[in-house]
Structure 1
Amino acid sequence: MSGPNFSSLSRKNLLPGRVADGIRAEIEAGNLQPGDKLPTEHSLADSFAVSRSVIREAIAHLRNEGLVESRQGVGAFVTLPAERETLRIAADGLTDIERFRDLYQLRLVLEISAAGLAARNRTDAQLAALDDALAIMSGAKKWEEEGIAADLKFHEILAKATGNEYFPAVLGFIAQRIGQAIVTAREREGMKAVVSATISEHTAIRDAIASGNAEEARKVMKTHLVSAAQRVSLKMEFLEDGL
């Protein structure tokens, strides 16, 4: 067995979803076996020519699929096939606008509810973690790496703050696929990332959660998700006014 080969992938615009796709391919090819430890973050970052934050988000993506498990202080390991999740949505499949819209609608419904629950149930530590993610977003020099990774982290923390163990698993999986599809759409349409608007929307979400105002948290989350869809020219006629 030759071992995993990550260097054959294109290094242009590698984002967490694409890195995860590359690692997944090595697992499926048998170059990484159940029980094998993944290379270190530093090694993977060098192989893919991306930042370590991108690698961390890619590994989080694989955890959401059940392909790897993280052991604190040790690293990430390939899981046994019987332990893996069966739900999978390939990023390239979301180039079909109807499928992308359907998945986005699911995310919108779930994450609006998650924001309300997070406002009620978040801990001080989770609020501090939201602040950390927001600070990274605000200071990101390379938005397509640090900014998007911090954006995903913000939503991951919010899902955990619901106090419901299923929200992080489901929303984490959906957010990774949606995030990659949005990047692809921006590249295809030549759209510029509206970074200041994105940060402003996340700040409003953070403030509503900090105040414990569930109704406001749901409202500003809906505003953010609708605005994000509009920034990639996603038609919103599927939304109900009362959502």
Structure 2
Amino acid sequence: MQTGQRARREPLADKVVAYLLDYTRRHRLACGAPVPSEASVSSTLNVSRGVVREAYRSLKGAGILDIANGRAPRLGRIDRRAVTAVLQHALATQQATAAQILDVRRALEVRAAELAAVNRADADVRALEREVEAMRRALSQRRRFVDADIRFHEVIGRATGNPLYDLLSRALRDVLSVTIRTGFDSPRSIPLRGAVVRLHAGIAGAIAARRPAEARRLMQEHFDAVRTFIIDADEPPLSVEPGAGRRRARIRRSASG
């Protein structure tokens, strides 16, 4: 395809995207509802089916459409792919730092812990306790330790009752996964893992007891502690025992903060 043809096609694909999003809003379509076919949109907007196909592919990549062979395109469930892609791009191109992304994740997780203490179900408490025990058994096994930690935070996200906490927190964890695993690989993290488990146990206990203020405080301490060996690798480790976060004299802010 000629460059000029591509330049003309791109705005048309954007037009299709805008039309479909507006169509979804106007018709109050729910997740899983079918959307107009390529042929229908092509006729309505007077554009080629190739343009519509290009637009639908972009919407599939963003997680907005669920497209499978043999059936009409449908509205997809929200997922973290698009958010993760934006954050990965920001990190790769140095438009954001790992410290800045961790700071956003901290804000979300702190609020999530608070909400989970209010909205959690008994099954959530059992799941949190199960993951704390899994972390305790995996103190010397980095992969299993980190996997249990990830599952712990996923339970909290779901327990909030707000699906956006789970979606955004997962996207932020995806972007930081390499940094987190590298930090836990560091020899300096090994003596701190037991204290990290105790903090998680405290968070689980506060959520179980429906004490949101305590859950919030302990989650703040957890992220202050984790930062010391994930982001601040050049600094000596600080205590990560419960209560240590309140004794920190200073939390280093990101350069743009």
Provide TM-score, normalisation by structure 2: 0.55
- The amino acid that maps onto 1:220 is L
User: Which structure carries more helix by proportion?
Assistant: 2
Tell me the equivalent position of 1:215: 213
Structure 1 pair 98–186 and aligned structure 2 pair: CA distance change class (3 A): farther
RMSD over aligned Cα, in angstroms? 3.2
Q: Secondary structure at the match of 2:199?
A: helix
Tell me the equivalent position of 2:32: none
Identity, in percent, stands at: 25
Structure 1 pair 143–211 and aligned structure 2 pair: CA distance change class (3 A): same
Where structure 1 has 5 or more consecutive residues not aligned to the other structure, the ranges are: 1-64, 70-79
Q: Distance in 2 between matches of 1:122 and 1:201?
A: 19
> Quick check: 1:102 aligned with 2:100?
yes
1:177 positional shift: 2.3
Q: Distance in 1 between matches of 2:228 and 2:137?
A: 24
> Quick check: 1:132 aligned with 2:130?
yes
Q: Distance in 1 between matches of 2:166 and 2:204?
A: 17
Describe the superposition over 1:40-73 as per-residue Cα deviations: whole angstroms up to 9, x where unpaired.
Answer: xxxxxxxxxxxxxxxxxxxxxxxxx859x9xxxx
1:145 positional shift: 1.6
Aligned match of 1:154 in 152, 160, 164? 152
Tell me the equivalent position of 2:175: 177
Describe the superposition over 1:102-150 as per-residue Cα deviations: whole angstroms up to 9, x where unpaired.
Answer: 1011011111100000000000001111111111111126522211101
Name the count of aligned residue pairs.
163
- The amino acid that maps onto 1:162 is T
Q: Secondary structure at the match of 1:237?
A: coil
Describe the superposition over 1:148-180 as per-residue Cα deviations: whole angstroms up to 9, x where unpaired.
Answer: 101000000001000001111110111232232
Structure 1 pair 108–94 and aligned structure 2 pair: CA distance change class (3 A): farther
Q: How does 1:165-204 map to 2 (within 5 A)?
A: 165-185=163-183, 191-193=188-190, 194-204=192-202
Q: How does 1:2-151 map to 2 (within 5 A)?
A: 85-87=81-83, 88=85, 89-90=87-88, 93=91, 99-140=97-138, 143-151=141-149
Of structures 1 and 2, the one scoring higher in RCO (CA 8 A, sep 6+) is 1
Q: Secondary structure at the match of 1:238?
A: coil
Tell me the equivalent position of 1:163: 161
Q: Does the 8 A contact of 1:186 with 1:232 survive in 2? A: yes
Describe the superposition over 1:66-93 as per-residue Cα deviations: whole angstroms up to 9, x where unpaired.
Answer: 59x9xxxxxxxxxx9x957422133994
Q: Does the 8 A contact of 2:179 with 2:230 survive in 1? A: no
Q: Distance in 1 between matches of 2:194 and 2:252?
A: 26
Q: Does the 8 A contact of 2:142 with 2:184 survive in 1? A: no
Structure 1 pair 115–141 and aligned structure 2 pair: CA distance change class (3 A): closer
> Quick check: 1:237 aligned with 2:252?
yes
Q: Secondary structure at the match of 1:90?
A: helix
Where structure 2 has 5 or more consecutive residues not aligned to the other structure, the ranges are: 1-61, 67-72, 236-250
Q: Distance in 2 between matches of 1:136 and 1:128?
A: 12
Q: Distance in 2 between matches of 1:195 and 1:95?
A: 32
- The amino acid that maps onto 1:191 is R
- The amino acid that maps onto 2:113 is A
Q: Does the 8 A contact of 1:91 with 1:177 survive in 2? A: no
